[in-house]
Structures are given as structure tokens and as C-alpha cells.
Structure 1
């Protein structure tokens, strides 16, 4: 007699039409995303293939979140309060402070910045920040055995954060110590963006004495003709002096931002800039693609279309820059970012511990992100849901909400929210691992989300078939690996798993390259 009972045994994973879960197995496998990438062997370097870039180069998001910020909806009353009150107390925090002021208008700018030389603006704004910190802090539970929430990471962005005076920076930092418990500076990650033209003689010393251990300098280009065209003029000597002082003061990591595709740039002039920057030996570099969108960003209307390099020249700039940086020993992290092999980002990537959020690539993936200031964004996890919140992007409206909260504690500054589903969390996990580690391990996904990944993502796997033929990815029963020729197009691979992209917003992004 044939035994048919086995036919009724429940399958170990859900099928594609069922909801994933976040039930964890008793035993966790070894980290499937760790690699030997740090040796900078040829197989780990991005391979520049102009034909493939031209074939697949289409508009898409940078995935600092999933869903992206275009999925925001209006914030319901009382929701932000409940989110902060219900936040897991044991989860450490990453604090972000948005300083919107600049003293100069850079014509390439695509941000909502306020150009002013009024020193009083920063002092007024600081008071609003302090009020917002107090307002949110009262809602946060603290871990057992402590009287303050733990902070592992802090970042000041903008704008130009050093628009705050040295005295104001000290005031903000000392106030924060009364509200939060910070890891020692040799364990935490405390960073700030700097316009090297706006530093006082004591600013770096003050920042280091407070505990800041990482700085990022906006350079963009060292060619004088390009600098004049974008209204950001500074000498190479100034940049080198700032880097030298930062090293002498003991900053752990120094980042430099460059942009390719600016007016009057040529492959030769940018190559000169890149080689000069390599001589300065920053720990990290970000090399961004300039997206010319004057219809959306008023500042860019100062740039003439005829002064911009053509697409072929931009591709040459990108290829030359990648080759020059990798030959100099920098590890390609992904999405415009490079780091020395011993930098924390590079180490985290090799160990399979790299993460990505609104601050870009980060080593602090276990943190909730708590934003302060106009337009700032928070990311807070709660069980199977992550909430993404954004404060008002209008300065006066933001300030009005902070003032209203002084008399009515129910008023909160966030005006937009995304509530992610467990399906979003699953797709976020796939997208972020592809962007951080060039790999997604099906067994890992099955164990973390209770699905059969190949069945669940069968349509996406089929869509990647053309990329497999072109040797951008390799797929088998174990998972999906981005190959060297595909590394510069990692966003294109990730976009296949984005449920929102094809139905909405597909014309709202700049091209990948």
C-alpha cells in the first residue's frame, strides 16, 4: 500500500502569494555577505564597460530608504508621538541634525538651502533645535540600567553645519550630553560636513575636542575655470591644509566629495583633480554624477547647457576616475563611494556588516535614525514595521510647529510618514544587500522571512535574465551575485526588486550614471 501522508506535510516556506514573516530560526548561519574583497584583487574591482553602461543606464533612485521618499503621505495626528513612545528602548540611536544655512550659493546645488550671511540666523535656529530635542527626548524610553537613550552615531549635515559658530557648536554638544548617553569617541561615529572656506582658525580643534571623529569636505573640483562656473572657488592648498590639520588632530576618517559632469570639466581637467586629491590621501571619496535639472532647481539656472560636457565625455570621466582610484588602492564601496581598505566602511563591507540609510553607507545598521531640524528625516523600527518620518521642508513652517509644541505637547514636527509593511522590509533587505555586498543569499532570505525566495521572486529572477546574459550578474540556486561588470550598475539590479518604481515616479529620478 502506498503511503500518501507525506504529500500533506506543510512546506517549510511560504509561497509567492503568501505574506513573509520575520520569525527567526533558532540557529543563525554564518554571515553569507562576508567576503575577501579587501585584498583589492581584480575580481572585486568594478569593471568599466561603456557599452553595458549605455545599455542599462536609466533613471532610478539612490535607495537611501525603501520605499523611497517619494512614497511619503501626510502624517496622521498623534502618530509621531506614538512611534517615539513605542520605540524599542534597547535599540541605539543615530542622531542627524540638519543645518540649512550657507553663506554662498553653489550653482550645482540640488538642495533646499538658505543663503544668508546673518550670524544671528544660526543662533535663532539653534534654539529651535534645542526645543525639538527636548520635545522628542521626553517621549523616548531608556534601556534598563540607564537614565538616557544610547547614541552610537551623530551627523551634522546641511547646508553648511559649520555655519554654527564654534561657541554654538559647543552649546549644542554640551546640551546633547544632558539628554543622551554617547559611546566614547573611539567607539562611536560622530561626523560633520564642512565647507573648507568657512572654517575659523579654531573650528577643527573645537570639533575634535568635543568628540567629533570624522569630517567630510565638499571640494567638487580643483580646476579654477570649473570652480568659477559653479561659484565655489577655493585653492588646492586650502583643502590640503584642512586635511593636514584634521590628521594632526586625530580625526579617524576624512571624506572628500567630488562631482563629475560640471560645466567646463573635461576628462583631462578632472583627472588632474583626482590625482591631486589622491596625493592628499583622504580616507574616503564620494564621486557624484552632476544631474542638470534647472527646471527643478533654481540655482542650476546659472549654468549654461552649452558649458556642460556631453554624455560621452562624462562616461570617460567616470571610467578614468574609477581606474585611477582603484589603481591607487581605494576600494569601490558602491554608488559613487570609495574608501581605503582599512577604513571602517571598507572593513564593514568585507565583513558583511555594511548598511545604507538616509546618511548613505554606514556601519551603524542597528541604530534608529532620529532627525532634527527643517526637512530632517527619521527612520524608526518597531517590530515588523519601520516608520520613515520627515519634518516640514519650509523653515518658517518648521519653526511654527516647534513654537506651537511649547504650549501644546501634542504638536510634533514631522509632517510626512511612510509606514513600511513586512513585504517592504523583505524587499528592502534584498535591495540593501545587493547595494552593500553585491549579493543576496536565498537561504539567508528564506530563514529571515519564512519564504522560498526563488518562488517568491520568480518574476524578478526572470527580469534579471538579460543581465545574466551580459555577465552583469550571476544567478544560481544559492543566490544572486553582482559581477564586476555590474557593480557600477548595482542600482539597476536593485531596481528590479522595487515594487513602486514601475507603477509610479519612474520619471522623477536622474540617471544612474
Structure 2
């Protein structure tokens, strides 16, 4: 299964429509989205999830591990991170990760296979080599990391050398994701992240020489001093590296939420029209150079596992964005990590004190979560099909869920008529297809099926902003690197 190819007409129409209909909303790395999780749920939510997962053995798992430490702050960043040069703090963290793994694995029973794993942060390579070996040994004690699986890690090219890359290969990582953001010197200065091109090239070259299966680069557009021409030069340099995958994220300037962003000069941020030009020109250039537009902000070479998964109908979205392995429960380890297990979402404590305190008491460090309803399962499937495959097979959905689609989604179908008039979707008997233009605005199409947003719209307005269910923040588009989804 594959989505229609992008073309110049779609990009031209996108330029005309984006400002009018592409409003704030979720990225749908989960449904319900993380702002719908409940604070302080009963621990039985997590226990029930793991017990149900245990009953599903020997199905393999996906795993996310969060390392929060960074030596330096990048002003744009909204990750859950701890800025420190005290490497002694990571030794304690590794010890507590081992406690958490033991609790989770004990509940799961038999040593479960992990088909997909990802270390994120923060900066996972903040850990010294011995600590990295210890974490991997702990993982292999409690889980079975499948050799044929995808095992990835986020790295800061400024903090690794060839020896460290060799260690990552030795430990079993086969995919690396490198943060770049932009190679322009003035942009780097403005975001407090000086990273020369040659430094990044050396890491990419080492990864290739060591046989890593996939190398991914992360870029951000909408940063201070960026223009379409300047970002185009960064794309030239990126193409010289020919990464297997690319993520091109939109910068969301939310200084009232993420304090480091207060150090960014708002006057230097590109205006909306220029930011849109950056995105459109980037998509044009990457697709012209042979990259497959996976969706949202992801691109991949045609032979990369991500593009193959899309062609074969195996693509899914999880908390890292688009992913190659569909249908597996995901276990989250470390502070703020989110798990998606047996129809429940569970998120760990966001601070070290709360995380350590829970584990000192011998309990899982659960802070937030939600159990999915039958309606949630149905809508998650619909949203996933739209965002990953661009097609809804209505009779198949009706058969799986015992519904009459036209009756169950009458309000949604009426709204889709308006999107069809804008050229985003095409309705045919028994089928709904996202057009090439709609793929560029697929999040807007998916929002039609978000019952929570629909319920919000039916409530009295609160100055145009809906408070999240924890009362602490409004819902808004947030970049992936913020880990708020």
C-alpha cells in the first residue's frame, strides 16, 4: 500500500491553503493524545496493562528509554531534560533504571522479546561508556533484544567520536538519529548550538563505516534568522551526507511553556509566509532528490525500512513519530517516558525526585495515564490509517467494529465534505482517500475524527483556548523534540 506521490500542483495548493486551514492541533503520536491523560491515576492502571500484556506473550514489544541529561542547553528545546556537567548524576540514574526494569519485567513474567527499541533524551550519549554498557546489560537481563529488530539512539554529533560510535555498534544499535537543526552559523549562534558541518560529517561517515543500517538527521525550520535561501544551503549540505531518513520539524515558539525559549529573539523569527516558503521549498528539493515523503515531517530514501514499511502497509505512529513496526505494545522507561500497553497509556514521573521516590518505595513511577474506551480504539485506528496510509477502507472498519460508518460518523463526514471541497480528501463508495494535497495537511484531516476536540468545540469558549485536563496548559502544536504529544 502506498500513498499518491506529491506534485508541484499539490505544493502550490498547500501554499495557498495552509494559512487558512492548518490550525493548532495534535500530532497524533497517540490517541487519546497525551494532554488527555489523567494526573495521579491509580497504580492498578499500570499493573492491569502489564498483566494484560503478559497474557499476550510471546508477542514482541517495543521499548523507549529516556536519558534526560545534557551538558549544554539549546534555546529552542522543549525536551524533558536536566542540564548538568556533573556526570556523577547519571550513575545514580542508571541504577534506578535497573530497578524500574526489574519491576516492569517482573510483572511481564517471561523475558520478552523487544523488536524495536529507542533511546532518547536529553542526550543519551551523556552516559559514559561503562554506564551505557551497564544499561544495555540490564536491558538484556530483563528483555530479549531481537538481533533482527530496529534498535536506535539519538546522538549529539558534538558529543561523540569514532570510538563512541564503535561502542554503539558493539552494544547492538543499528540506527542512529543525529540532531542538526541547521548548519547556518548565525542560526546556530542564535539557538546556542554551535555544530560545524564537518563535525556532523565525521559522525555520519563513522556510522556508515561501522555498518549502521540507517542514519537519520533532524532539522528544524522556523528558527531565528532562517530564510528559504539560507535553509536551502543547509539542505545542500544535508544532501551531501545523503542520510537514509530525515525529519524536518516545525519550531513552535512557546516561551511561556519552555523557559529556554525566552532567550530567543522573537524579532529574528521568520514570518509565517517565509516559514511556509522554507517548508515548501524543502519538500520540493528532497522529493526531487529521490526522498519519499512519508508524511508530516518525515522523509526516507526508497530502500529505507521506513519507506518499505509504508509501501507494505506496516507503517504506524508512536511517540517517536512514524515507525516501522505496527501493533506492538510499547514499554517506556525513565523519567517522563510514555508506554502504550494493552489499551492503556502510562507516563512516568517527570522529575528525578518523584521518579526516585516511587522506586525507593518499590512501586512503578506512574504519574499520568488513561485507559482507552472502545470509541478510542476505533478512532485511533481511523486516525492511524489516515496518517500512515492515506486510505480508509470503510467496509473493513465496519466489519471489525460492528458499526455503520455513515451513521456513526455523520458529523465527521459532513465536515469532510468541506475538506473535500478544498481538495484534501476524495470520497468514493466504501472508501475515503487522502489526496496528495491532503497528505501535506493530514493532521487537519485526522482532527476531524478526534472526539475530544469535537466535544471541546461544543463547550463554551474560554477566550479561544481550551485548558488541558490537568489545568496547566492549553492544547497546541508542539514539536516532537518537546516530548509533549
TM-score scaled by length of structure 2: 0.92
Q: Which residue of 1 aligns with 2:315?
A: 354
Q: Which residue of 1 aligns with 2:90?
A: 122
Compute the displacement of 1:304 (Å): 1.3
List per-residue Cα deviations over 1:78-109 (Å, max 9, x = no partner). 33223212322222111111001111100001
2:99 to 125, 131, 152: 131
- Say if 2:162 and 2:206, in contact at 8 Å, map to a contact too: no
Q: How do 1:183-262 residues align onto structure 2 when only pairs under 5 Å count?
A: 183-184=146-147, 187-262=148-223
2:433 to 478, 481, 490: 481
Compute the displacement of 1:36 (Å): 7.1
**1:169 and 2:114 are equivalent in the alignment:** no
Q: Which residue of 1 aligns with 2:356?
A: 399
Q: How do 1:127-166 residues align onto structure 2 when only pairs under 5 Å count?
A: 127-142=95-110, 148-166=111-129
**1:86 and 2:47 are equivalent in the alignment:** no
Cα distance between partner residues in 2 of 1:158 and 1:48:
37
List per-residue Cα deviations over 1:451-470 (Å, max 9, x = no partner). 12122212111101111112
Q: Which residue of 2 aligns with 1:440?
A: 392
How many residues are paired up? Answer: 461
Q: Which residue of 1 aligns with 2:443?
A: 491
Q: Which secondary structure does the structure 1 equivalent of 2:193 belong to?
A: coil
- Say if 1:160 and 1:194, in contact at 8 Å, map to a contact too: yes
Structure 1: unaligned runs, 5 residues or longer: 1-33, 143-147, 406-410
Q: Which secondary structure does the structure 2 equivalent of 1:417 belong to?
A: strand
1:58 to 23, 26, 43: 23
Q: How do 1:390-469 residues align onto structure 2 when only pairs under 5 Å count?
A: 390-405=347-362, 411-469=363-421
- Say if 1:48 and 1:319, in contact at 8 Å, map to a contact too: no
Q: Which residue of 2 aligns with 1:21?
A: none
List per-residue Cα deviations over 1:30-75 (Å, max 9, x = no partner). xxxx1376xx675998665211111211000000100001111121
Q: Which secondary structure does the structure 2 equivalent of 1:139 belong to?
A: helix
Cα distance between partner residues in 1 of 2:409 and 2:81:
41
- Say if 1:263 and 1:303, in contact at 8 Å, map to a contact too: yes
Compute the displacement of 1:441 (Å): 1.0
Q: Which secondary structure does the structure 1 equivalent of 2:92 belong to?
A: helix
- CA RMSD between the two structures: 1.7
Compute the displacement of 1:283 (Å): 0.4
1:363 to 317, 324, 329: 324
- Say if 1:47 and 1:487, in contact at 8 Å, map to a contact too: no
- Say if 2:11 and 2:280, in contact at 8 Å, map to a contact too: no
Compute the displacement of 1:199 (Å): 0.9
Q: How do 1:24-35 residues align onto structure 2 when only pairs under 5 Å count?
A: 34-35=1-2
- Say if 1:374 and 1:398, in contact at 8 Å, map to a contact too: yes
**1:340 and 2:301 are equivalent in the alignment:** yes
List per-residue Cα deviations over 1:366-408 (Å, max 9, x = no partner). 2110011110111111xxxx00000111111111111111xxx
Cα distance between partner residues in 1 of 2:79 and 2:10:
32
Q: Which secondary structure does the structure 1 equivalent of 2:220 belong to?
A: strand
Cα distance between partner residues in 2 of 1:459 and 1:252:
45
Q: Which has the higher helix share?
A: 2
**1:509 and 2:461 are equivalent in the alignment:** no
Which piece of structure 1 moves more, 451-460 or 263-272?
A: 451-460
Compute the displacement of 1:112 (Å): 2.1
Structure 2: unaligned runs, 5 residues or longer: 457-465, 468-473, 480-485
Compute the displacement of 1:478 (Å): 2.1
Cα distance between partner residues in 2 of 1:459 and 1:374:
39
Compute the displacement of 1:240 (Å): 0.9
TM-score scaled by length of structure 1: 0.87
Q: Which residue of 2 aligns with 1:30?
A: none
